Structure 1
Amino acid sequence: MAQDKNAFAVQVKLTNGIIEGNYNSHDNIQTYFGIPFAKPPINDLRWKAPQPLDPWEGVKETKSFGPRPMQTMVFGDMDSRSAGLSEDCLYLNVWTPAKRNTEGLPVLVYFYGGGNVAGDASEPRYDGRSMAKKGMVVVTTNYRLNVFGFLAHPELTKEASYNASGNYGLLDQNAALQWVQDNIKAFGGNPKKVTIAGESAGSIGVSQHMASPLSKNLIAGAIGESGASIHPTMPPIPLEEAEKIGSEFIAKAGFSSIAQLRSLSTREVYEIYNESGRFGFSPVIDGYFLPKSLPEIFEAKEQAQVPLLLGWNSAEIPGGAYMQGKPYTEENFVSKVKNDYPDNADEVLGLYPHSSEKEVELSATALASDRFIAYSTWKWFDLHRKNSKQPVYRYLYSKIRPSLVDNTRVSGLAGGTIEKSGEEESSAPKPVGAPHACEIEYCMGNLHLIDDYAWTAEDYQVSKTMQAYFANFILTGNPNAETLPVWNSAEAKDPTPPVMILDTESKQIEIDTDNRYLFLDGVYSKAKK
């Protein structure tokens, strides 16, 4: 890492042995990268819950990021700092401002996004140094992905002591949380003040850990950025259904047993998965990590009773995703809505204005975003505020990104940029809001590590505000401070709950769009019955 030239070696004793990281003499932040937190999930441990580490002799150097989990370039805009990919990927990273006698620091554990098919704890936008400077220990962790992290199968269920399969990536995250409980004091952290956070699939993971009996007692707070494991956004499916999908996947690949698949090389499993054309595998209601669906768990008040801060972005996905490439005309929008909601078209059209081309673009963007990920996040918000006495804070991130530094590139789906294809027009449509994943480098204070965009003073101000809210919440369970606009928590029965608009001018408003989510709530409730 670039900071190494200003660092000297420091050692920490963990439950399994001694590690050596770096102490930066310029900002007094210690870093420990590539710390193993479970046995490598390879050979016989492929498709098994993470296993406890064996102790090691001597000093393990932890100065560079461990390999990222096996994945394809699903999102070409992800930027990794790890040295390659491997099934041997269960490593985490720690940033701490602790001095020799420091103890009791709050802890942030951040889960990356990527649809549970891609992602990496080493990405610059997740870097923990800026947050550590706010007075907390920061942990980012890898977890298994795609076929390596979420395959369920009857044979795997039979061999597991807990009589279930799948969810290995989530169990990896849980193992990282257990590791924090056992080891974070060595970095000056307080295991009773752990806030978990994540974006997209990482946010979905946060919602699942709040619901899981394995994780809910390991956390003191939660932050969700765009996503919850609630229909239609990556909800868990019954174990029997997941096993059937896994059995069909294996049979289609020409194999008849898990033993045969375990005997294959990483390359062979990687290629078999890619050839299948699948976008990962669903999380599972396995009776172990997840005993029921999230709405059932929250409605029974069985979730982690902790403060929650969550929200989503103003333009999570382009309106063209809903219009399927058709022009933004009133006729096209009305036709699409009538096709999608034949029994409720008038109600939908009343909720999503469409009297001009601009209105259609905004409403198509809103409806696409709601169906993609905003509704599920809203439902999580609504469930927790109604089934907990803990404060729930809600935001809408609305800052439109500045222009790209390199005009031969375009913004990607997962936060970074990709090269323009020959088919793309020279001028992309102007954004009407903040797209999916764009807030990560703002809330983590990492604009300076992302050189794709021509950041302005306004961007740095938005980042300063958003990071302050997040840091305050991690430090105290409340995002507020005297220097920031007041952000009230949402009351259980408030029909217009407050929302913090995070933008060039951040301000709290009473939201007036919840009727959209109440409508979708009715639609999705009927669809599941």
Structure 2
Amino acid sequence: MSSRDVPQPLHADAGLGRRRFLGGAAAGAALLGGVTAVPATAATRDTARSEDRPVRTESGLVTGVPSARDGVTVYKGIPYAASTAGENRWRPPRPAPSWKGVRAADTWGAACPQPVTGIDADKVPPLSEDCLNLNVWTSAASSSTSAVSRERRPVFVWIYGGRNSAMWASQPVYDGANLAAKGAVVVTFNHRVGAFGNLAHPELSAESGHAASGNWGVMDTVAALKWVRRNIAAFGGDPERVTIAGWSHGSSFVNILMISRLARGLYHRALLSSGVQYTKDPALGHVAGGYSTLAAAEANGTAFTTYMGASSLAGLRALSADEIVAKVYAPGAPSAGTSFGNVLDGYVLPTTYTGAMTSRTETDVPVYTGNNKDENGASPTLAMTVAQFQAYATTTFGDRAADFLALYPAATDAEAAAQYNAYARDEERVSTFLWGTQFRTTASNRSPVYNYFWSHTPPGTDTSNPIMPGQDAASAGAYHGADLYYLFGGLDGTDRPWTDQDHTIADTVSSYVVNFAATGNPNSPARHSDPLPAWPALRTGRPLSMEIGDGFAPVPAADSDAKYAFLKTYLESQTTEY
């Protein structure tokens, strides 16, 4: 199949993808590496009104509600930690309160405080510092005599992305019903973001007991994973087969947790959607995966205190969440004191990405990672003059600018934009491939890496998910986040004009995801009667990536060997190691 061919139905269920998975759990044991999925009719019959049967968690009993897929129950808004308000603000998450009786987990939990200006009110959940809650989708059957499932299905824990806004777990694009119908137990959760999730401050570092602060959102994620470890078996999940997965900012959390000592043993595979970069890639200076040093983050925290009109940490904790959000994200707010991101704190993130590789402390788990065609600079509507393109080449590549321009020649403005796009797409694939070679050689890990390049443009626009771009697909292209619909596979919960091709792609990609969660390998198990397109694991001597979307086949890491060699040499020659 050409990398640009429209894929045809790829296995026996593909042609039924939209209808069958609207109807319920299918996909079968073959996708699950020995875990038996319950067909929709059987699930409906054997677990009739299973959402009414209480499930026992460590805090109390919960009941769920029917999801968008027959046979799948969703449990909404279960607290996994206590409120972060008052004295708990900017502290590690505390244990969740218990309750008596049965809690109806039928309503999405509150999202953490963040700016929501410009987002339609009907798409914004309640905002509260009591926001550490999670959602579980499962089609596992509980026993007829108890509320504990005897099944052990792979667990998929999702970490949302975003840049301080529209960051909550209940957006339709993160609906876990389709993956649960295919045999996974899906968990999404809310964690602290922005000023609440990343503030570092000298006083906070002093009170922490480990001379560091920041990364509160990552600590929330660890707390959610600990909750999963202790509770997920009651929902039919296997605590020994947990995949942590995230997009963009959420992907940076996965990257951190692959290094952090705090998360060891809590997960067994890692999925990073947009994604990872080679640890000397200059892009890490400005993308979500970057970080500040503790000293820089504490300096920002000190400036934040002054900007907020407080004189101490106690004064900051006395402010309302609304006051903080309004001032930090006000138009014209100074960058000093309002810049929040991941922190190289020496505790949650104990070392740099490069340091983790070279010290061989990067966690050895199977990895599924990649990037999208139209992100990190590439765009179908990019406008660039020849002069701008040449200036970029000189600034970026210095005395090798002429070599770059020979590989990506442009005589007109239209050619300049096209060649910049070609370069940006090549560099993304090369950077991800080089990260994979670091993981397999520098870190000396044995686990496989499955790297991809997403190429498909979703149709129309989406008004149901505020994290998505507002422009039409023709101008957005295969944008940052375009793959999320297909990764979860629940297209019908959103308002784009999906086609049969989209449903086929979604069926294929969501099957890759469930396979990976089950076995650490996205491919169909051996001897499957109608397997998915073969996805080869990364081999360090073969610079390839798996195209997913408009085609399903390996493609070169760059469009030519010469371009690959140039970009590899450029990235490896960088002196800043993140």
Q: Same fold (TM over 0.5)?
A: yes
Match of 1:247 among 266, 288, 302: 302
**Offset at 1:507?**
1.3
For residues 136-179 of structure 1, give each alpha carbon's deviation from its aligned partner in whole angstroms, at most 9, with x where no partner exists: 11000111000011000000011113331100001001110111
Instruction: Tell me how far 1:47 sits from its aligned partner.
Output: 0.5
Aligned pair in 2 of structure 1 residues 270, 206: CA closer, same or farther (>3 Å)? same
Offset at residue 204 of structure 1 (A): 1.2
Q: Percent of pairs identical after alignment?
A: 34
When structure 1 is superposed on structure 2, of 27-36 and 263-272 the one drifting more is 263-272
Map residues 466-481 of structure 1 onto 2, 5 A cutoff.
Answer: 466-481=509-524
CA contact (8 A) 1:239 1:285 kept: yes
Inter-partner Cα distance in structure 1 for 2:327 and 2:191: 20
TM-score by length of 1: 0.87
Alpha-carbon distance change, 175 to 26 in structure 1, aligned in 2, over 3 angstroms: closer
Matched, 1:84 2:126: yes
Map 1:256-405 → 2, pairs under 5 A: 256-275=311-330, 276=333, 278=335, 280-317=339-376, 319=378, 327-355=383-411, 357-367=413-423, 377-386=432-441, 387=443, 388-404=445-461
1:73 pairs, out of 108, 116, 119, with 116
Cα 1:268–1:365 change in 2 (3 A) is: same
Q: Where do residues 96-495 of structure 1 align in structure 2 (5 Å cutoff)?
A: 96-101=138-143, 102-116=150-164, 118-228=166-276, 231-232=284-285, 233=287, 234-275=289-330, 276=333, 278=335, 280-317=339-376, 319=378, 327-355=383-411, 357-367=413-423, 377-386=432-441, 387=443, 388-404=445-461, 414-417=467-470, 430-431=474-475, 433-451=477-495, 453-481=496-524, 482=528, 483-491=531-539, 493-494=540-541
C-alpha RMSD over aligned residues: 3.1
**C-alpha contact 1:398 1:501 (8 A) present in aligned 2:** yes
Alignment-mate amino acid for residue 360 of structure 1: A
> In structure 1, what residue type is equivalent to 2:449?
V
Deviation at 1:195, TM superposition (A): 0.5
1:227-271 Cα offsets, whole Å, 9 max, x none, are: 338522342222122111111121233222110010111221222
> Aligned partners of 1:416, 1:66: CA distance in 2, in Å?
24
Residue 43 (1) aligns with residue 92 (2): no
- Which of 538, 544, 551 is residue 498 of structure 1 equivalent to? 544
Post-superposition Cα deviations, 1:192-237, rounded to whole Å, max 9, x if no partner, equal 1001111111111111111111113211101111033852234222
- 34-43 vs 266-275, greater mean Cα deviation: 266-275
Task: Please tell me the residue identity of whatever aligns with 1:160.
Answer: S
Task: Tell me whether 53-62 or 433-442 shows the greater mean CA deviation.
Answer: 53-62
State yes or no: 1:526 paired with 2:575: yes
Compute the displacement of 1:65 (Å): 0.6
CA-CA distance at 1:21 after TM superposition: 1.5
1:498 to partner: Cα distance? 2.9
- TM-aligned CA deviation for residue 303 of structure 1: 1.6
- Does the 8 Å contact 1:459/1:504 carry over to 2? no
Q: Distance in 1 between matches of 2:369 and 2:568?
A: 18
Tell me the secondary structure at the aligned position of residue 258 of structure 2.
helix
Distance of 1:509 and 1:174 partners within structure 2: 36
Residue 72 (structure 1) shift: 1.2
- Residue 415 of structure 1 deviates from its aligned partner by 2.4
2 CA distance for matches of 1:133 and 1:441? Answer: 16
Are 1:77 and 1:414, in contact at CA under 8 Å, matched by a contact in 2?
Answer: no
| 1:20 corresponding residue in structure 2 | 63
For 1:205 and 1:217, the matched residues in 2 are separated by 16
- Which is bigger in relative contact order (C-alpha 8 A, separation at least 6)? 2
> Larger deviation: 153-162 or 499-508?
499-508
SS in 2 for 1:175: helix
- Distance 1:320-1:88 versus aligned 2 partners, 3 A rule: same
Q: Give the letter for the 1:290 counterpart.
A: L
**CA separation in 2, counterparts of 1:490 and 1:42?**
45
Q: Is the 8 A contact 2:291 2:341 kept in 1?
A: yes
Shift of 1:307: 0.5
Q: How big is each residue's C-alpha offset from its partner over 1:368-424, in whole Å with a ceiling of 9 and x where there is no partner?
A: 5678x767645543322322111111110101222348xxx9x99942426xxxxxx
**Aligned AA for 1:450?**
T
> What displacement does 1:30 show?
1.6
Question: CA, structure 1 residues 94+520, in 2 after alignment: closer, same or farther (shift >3 Å)?
Answer: farther
Change (3 A) 1:376 1:288: farther
In the alignment, the residues of structure 2 paired with residue 120 and residue 67 of structure 1 have an alpha-carbon distance, to the nearest angstrom, of: 9
TM-aligned CA distance change 1:54 to 1:404, over 3 Å:
closer
Cα deviation digits, residues 44-78 of structure 1 (max 9, x gap): 0001011112332222221111011111137x679
Q: 1:23 to 1:461 in 2, by over 3 A?
A: closer
Shift in Å, 1:24: 5.9
Instruction: Give 1:341 shift.
Output: 3.6
**Within 1, Cα distance between the matches of 2:163 and 2:364?**
26
CA spacing shift, 1:277–1:28, aligned 2, 3 Å: farther
5+ long unaligned stretches in structure 1: 419-427
Distance in structure 2 (CA, Å) of the matches to 1:476 and 1:225 = 19
Q: Which runs of 5+ in 2 are unaligned?
A: 1-23, 25-48, 144-149
Aligned partner of 1:396: which letter?
A: F
The 1:471–1:320 alpha-carbon spacing in structure 2 relative to 1, beyond 3 Å, is closer
**CA pair 415-382 structure 1, distance change in 2 beyond 3 A:** farther
Does structure 1 conserve the Cα–Cα contact (< 8 Å) formed by 2:300 and 2:339?
A: no
Residues 121/336 of structure 1: CA separation in 2 closer, same or farther (3 Å cut): same
Contact 1:108 1:474 (8 Å CA) reproduced: yes
